[in-house]
């Protein structure tokens, strides 16, 4: 196990609702990245948090937002849920200087399975 934890494990919501997913990073790690993995696809980068700020963002709309706390844990919030938001949401932690380059290795938590009805 990686030491990265996520909650909840599973979640069922209806279209239009809002959801908050949580992640605790591995001890010693200061960066959290969030990914969405639809069935049969590879994980897609949503955004990354470093020092409590969004450090980069993938091609996801603004209704996907996040936070990072002083203890490096993180939240992913999704507003106005759509059916296509049904996926496995993965959190990955790493230890980084926050600058581009380097060889940051990311370790994944167990994921949260979100189903939108």
Partner 1 sequence: QKEVEQNSGPLSVPEGAIASLNCTYSDRGSQSFFWYRQYSGKSPELIMSIYSNGDKEDGRFTAQLNKASQYVSLLIRDSQPSDSATYLCAVNMISGGYNKLIFGAGTRLAVHP
Q: What is the DSSP string of 100-117?
A: S-S----EE---EEEEE-
The footprint of partner 1 on residues 30-89 (CB under 8 A) is: 33, 35, 40-45, 48, 50, 55-56, 58, 88
Number of residues that bind partner 1 (CB under 8 A): 31
**Position 28 contacts partner 1 (CB under 8 A):** no
Q: Which is nearer to partner 1, 1 or 84 (CB)?
A: 1
Closer by beta carbon to partner 1, 25 or else 33: 33
Start-to-end C-alpha separation, the chain? 31
The residue range among 15-23, 66-74, 76-84, 106-114 that interacts with partner 1, by the rule CB under 8 A, is 106-114
Residue 25 and residue 72: Cα distance in Å, rounded? 6
Q: How far apart are the C-alpha atoms of 102 and 72, rounded to whole Å?
A: 20
Partners of 115 in beta bridges: 12
How many CA atoms are closer than 13 Å to the CA of 42, on its beta-carbon side? Answer: 1
Nearer to partner 1, 12 or 80 (CB): 12
Question: Can you give the binding site for partner 1, defined by CB under 8 A?
Answer: 33, 35, 40-45, 48, 50, 55-56, 58, 88, 90, 92, 96, 98-111
């Amino acid at each position: 196990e990686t030491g990265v934890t996520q909650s909840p494990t599973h979640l069922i919501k209806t279209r239009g609702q809002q959801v908050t997913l949580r992640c605790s990073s591995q001890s010693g790690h200061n960066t959290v990245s969030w990914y969405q993995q639809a069935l049969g696809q590879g994980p897609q980068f949503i955004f990354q948090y470093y020092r409590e700020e969004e450090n980069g963002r993938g091609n996801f709309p603004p209704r996907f937002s996040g936070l990072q706390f002083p203890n490096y844990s993180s939240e992913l919030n999704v507003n106005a849920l759509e059916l296509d938001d049904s996926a496995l949401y993965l959190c990955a932690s790493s230890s980084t200087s926050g600058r581009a380059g380097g060889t940051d290795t990311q370790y994944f938590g167990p994921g949260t399975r979100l189903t939108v009805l």
